[in-house]
């Protein structure tokens, strides 16, 4: 006959095994066996080369956010300069043609600032192209999302350059 002490030990061991099995099966079902072992041993379920990709994408995302703020400030500056300017009417062949706003004459630093942002966005796009997805769907998704944001911002920047009538051929 079993003693109360051995019954207690048996129950405790059974409960411990059930809880341990449950706690181990959750990461195994989520990350696979190698991912679960990596999570337990190294503290991260991703292999180092995949983690490097995610870290690089995070750095690129931070850079995109900074450039977005700069681009928004430039947009506000351009709109302010347009509001502060007086539209001039030019008469050509008896037709009244409105001249473009003299944005650059009001804010000469816009030429340089737009060039810097445009160049920075080109660099971000190049960095983004260098990130290899290694067949991981989440890396591919994040890369595509960041790429779409950069393309949109480049379009906005190009629109500002055109609006300020900056010559980009030189």
Percent of the chain with pLDDT over 70: 82
In this prediction, residues 79-91 reach a mean pLDDT of: 73
Share of the chain residues as helix, strand and coil, in percent rounded to the nearest 5: 75, 5, 20
In this prediction, residues 11-24 reach a mean pLDDT of: 85
Output the pLDDT for position 150: 97
- Distance, in Å, from the CA atom of 94 to the CA atom of 33, rounded to the nearest integer, reads 81
Output the pLDDT for position 6: 82
Q: Exposed, middle or buried by CB within 10 Å (0-12, 13-18, 19+), for 66?
A: exposed
pLDDT in tens, 90-128: 666 766 655 555 778 788 899 899 999 999 999 999 999
């Amino acid at each position: 006959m079993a003693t109360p002490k051995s019954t207690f030990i048996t129950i405790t061991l059974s409960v411990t095994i059930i809880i341990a099995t449950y706690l181990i099966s959750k990461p195994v079902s989520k990350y696979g066996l190698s991912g679960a072992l990596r999570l337990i041993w190294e503290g991260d379920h991703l292999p180092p080369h995949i983690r490097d990709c995610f870290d690089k994408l995070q750095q690129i995302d931070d850079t995109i956010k900074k450039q977005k703020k700069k681009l928004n400030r430039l947009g506000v500056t351009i709109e302010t300069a347009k509001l502060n300017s007086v539209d001039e009417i030019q008469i050509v062949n008896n037709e009244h043609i409105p001249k473009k706003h003299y944005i650059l004459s009001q804010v000469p630093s816009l030429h340089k600032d737009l060039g810097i942002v445009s160049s920075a966005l080109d660099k971000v796009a190049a960095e983004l192209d260098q990130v290899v997805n290694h067949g991981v769907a989440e890396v591919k998704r994040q890369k595509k999302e960041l790429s779409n944001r950069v393309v949109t911002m480049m379009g906005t920047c190009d629109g500002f350059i055109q609006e300020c009538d900056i010559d980009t051929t030189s």
